[in-house]
Amino acid sequence: MVTIAVTAERDGEPRVAVSPETVKKLTALGCLVRVQAGAGARSRFADDTLKAAGAAIAGSASEALAGADILLKVRRPSPDEVQALKPGAMVAAILAPFDDRAGLEALANTGASLMAMELMPRISRAQSMDVLSSQANLAGYKAVVDAAGKFGQAIPMMMTAAGTVPAAKVFIMGVGVAGLQAIATAKRLGAIITATDVRPATKEQVASLGAKFIAVEDEEFKQAQTAAGYAKPMSAEYQRKQAELVASHIKSQDIVITTALIPGRPAPKLISKAMIESMKPGSVIVDLAAERGGNTDVTKPDEDVNHKGVLIVGPTNLAGDVPVNASSLYAKNLLAFLETMIDKKDKTLKVNWDDEIVKGTLVAKDGKIVHPSLQKGA
Ligand code: NAD
């Protein structure tokens, strides 16, 4: 039997790596799921509910971990946690493998097979395992809801006997997974929406959601998407033209949601101090790129900055602010991943180390860091 351990996350991380639904499915696959008491509380998964779904509730983290084959976490676990598992056990989590190299090496030294869920290849077979998408989608939604809450004015146009309330203008910068959900959410609230990106494929997506696309559509724009579907870093000349366009547009916007990212690089700076100062007092910017340096000149991670009457919000874990949904989806991503590795007949762990999704996510094995993008000089 495959034993799966789930322990509580640290303070500040409300999500958890299993849900009642995934416990039920993992149990049906023949696994024993040991969950530390209280681990699901912040996602409103009570111990009793998890127990009814088939989990064994462990009184402590060490009781949940002892000799387990697999550890499921949201964030990177400590080496002590991993040491308590069976030698060579498997760990699946959002490992942030490019941060804190010494910490990652310490974790690798335990000999466990470390799987970084955020490195899941973006191929159609792995869509159900794509944690970046499941969490970014919720973050895009929550960014708009939070912005609406902080805006202090109504979003939809309202025609009343006492007068007309104008619709708010919402500008979405970066139309990946989070940006598309931000457009859809702002649309439901009745905003007038514009959106921009450097990838030409987004133009049609924006229009199909009922928003207006604006961008510098020159020759460079036509080539701005990599084969993997991500944005390329843009030239200084393009950035200058883009800044001109943003400067003329942003001054009339009430809410701006920024989500622009380029893999492996700091977030591109799209909004300068001068642009913020051109906006009306009371306007709100929610910068989803805060964790990677931010898309504005004044963003501070996990702080609300009031710059001359404009509020710039820099959340780093917005999906964690809707933990019930975020944990449910994250747990489903993990379940879909594990289903490819558990032999349904003899109920054992059979990892195919040559599988693209395993190779893509495997960060360390047998004490060594093995992922190509983490080799020195990569
Ligand atoms: P991301 O988080 O890397 O970036 C967010 C957005 O910012 C992207 O749309 C990007 O083009 C944009 N951006 C970057 N630099 C910019 C700039 N200077 N100005 C304006 N916008 C800028 O993106 P993501 O949400 O992870 O999506 C990346 C791609 O992956 C998309 O093509 C998406 O459709 C694709 N995707 C595929 C799968 C799958 O097949 N399994 C799943 C999810 C996403």
Nearest-angstrom CA–CA distance, 158 and 151: 16
Cβ proximity of 28 and 59 under 8 Å: no
Question: Is residue 223's pLDDT more than 90?
Answer: yes
pLDDT at 57: 98
pLDDT at 344: 87
Decide whether any atom of ligand 1 lies within 6 Å of the 360 Cβ: no
Decide whether any atom of ligand 1 lies within 6 Å of the 173 Cβ: yes
Question: Is 230 annotated in the active site?
Answer: yes
Q: What percent of the chain has pLDDT over 90?
A: 96
What distance in angstroms lies between residue 176's CA and the mean position of ligand 1's atoms? 4
What distance in angstroms lies between residue 314's CA and the mean position of ligand 1's atoms? 19
Question: Is residue 107's pLDDT more than 90?
Answer: yes
pLDDT at 247: 98
What distance in angstroms lies between residue 343's CA and the mean position of ligand 1's atoms? 35
What distance in angstroms lies between residue 260's CA and the mean position of ligand 1's atoms? 8
Reported as a pLDDT band with limits 50, 70 and 90, residue 292 is very high
Nearest-angstrom CA–CA distance, 232 and 263: 9
What distance in angstroms lies between residue 177's CA and the mean position of ligand 1's atoms? 7
The DSSP secondary-structure symbol of 369 reads E
Which residue has a Cα nearest atom 1 of ligand 1? 261
pLDDT at 249: 98
Decide whether any atom of ligand 1 lies within 6 Å of the 230 Cβ: yes
Question: Is residue 377's pLDDT more than 80?
Answer: no
Question: Is 188 annotated in the active site?
Answer: no
Decide whether any atom of ligand 1 lies within 6 Å of the 197 Cβ: yes
pLDDT at 363: 98
Average pLDDT over residues 127-137: 98
pLDDT at 148: 98
pLDDT at 159: 97
pLDDT at 281: 97
Catalytic residue among 62, 75, 230, 278: 230
Which residue has a Cα nearest atom 20 of ligand 1? 197
Question: Is 133 annotated in the active site?
Answer: yes
pLDDT at 264: 81
pLDDT at 312: 98
Which ligand 1 atom minimizes the distance to the CA of 201? 32
Average pLDDT over residues 364-372: 97
Catalytic residue among 36, 133, 205, 253: 133
Nearest-angstrom CA–CA distance, 58 and 60: 6
Q: Where in the chain does DSSP place strands (E)?
A: 3-6, 32-36, 56-58, 70-75, 90-94, 113-116, 158-160, 163-165, 169-173, 192-196, 212-213, 255-258, 284-287, 304-307, 310-313, 362-365, 368-369
Question: Is 130 annotated in the active site?
Answer: yes
Decide whether any atom of ligand 1 lies within 6 Å of the 262 Cβ: yes
Q: For 277-288, how does the pLDDT look when each residue is reduced to its tens digit (9 = 90+)?
A: 999 999 999 999
What is the rounded average pLDDT for all residues in the chain? 97
Average pLDDT over residues 135-161: 98
pLDDT at 263: 84
Q: For 64-89, how does the pLDDT look when each residue is reduced to its tens digit (9 = 90+)?
A: 999 999 999 999 999 999 999 999 99
Q: What percent of the chain has pLDDT over 70?
A: 100
What distance in angstroms lies between residue 228's CA and the mean position of ligand 1's atoms? 10
Q: Which of 94, 117, 120, 197 to probe ligand 1 with, by most ligand atoms within 8 A of CB?
A: 197
Q: Count Cβ atoms within 10 A of the Cβ of residue 264 and give its class: 0-12 exposed, 13-18 middle, 19 or more buried.
A: exposed
Average pLDDT over residues 296-306: 98
Average pLDDT over residues 147-162: 97
Question: Is residue 139's pLDDT more than 90?
Answer: yes
Decide whether any atom of ligand 1 lies within 6 Å of the 260 Cβ: yes
Backbone conformation region of residue 135, classed left if phi is above 0, alpha if psi is from -120 to 50, else beta: alpha
Q: For 184-220, how does the pLDDT look when each residue is reduced to its tens digit (9 = 90+)?
A: 999 999 999 999 999 999 999 999 999 999 999 999 9
Question: Is residue 378's pLDDT more than 80?
Answer: no
Which residue has a Cα nearest atom 35 of ligand 1? 229
pLDDT at 272: 98
DSSP string, 218-281: SHHHHT-B-TTSPBPPPPHHHHHHHHHHHHHHHTT-SEEEE----TTSPPP--B-HHHHHTSPT
Nearest-angstrom CA–CA distance, 333 and 25: 13
pLDDT at 354: 97
Q: Which pTM value belongs to this model?
A: 0.95
What distance in angstroms lies between residue 263's CA and the mean position of ligand 1's atoms? 9
Average pLDDT over residues 278-300: 97
Assigned token pair, 232: 């390329």
Catalytic residue among 101, 122, 125, 265: 122
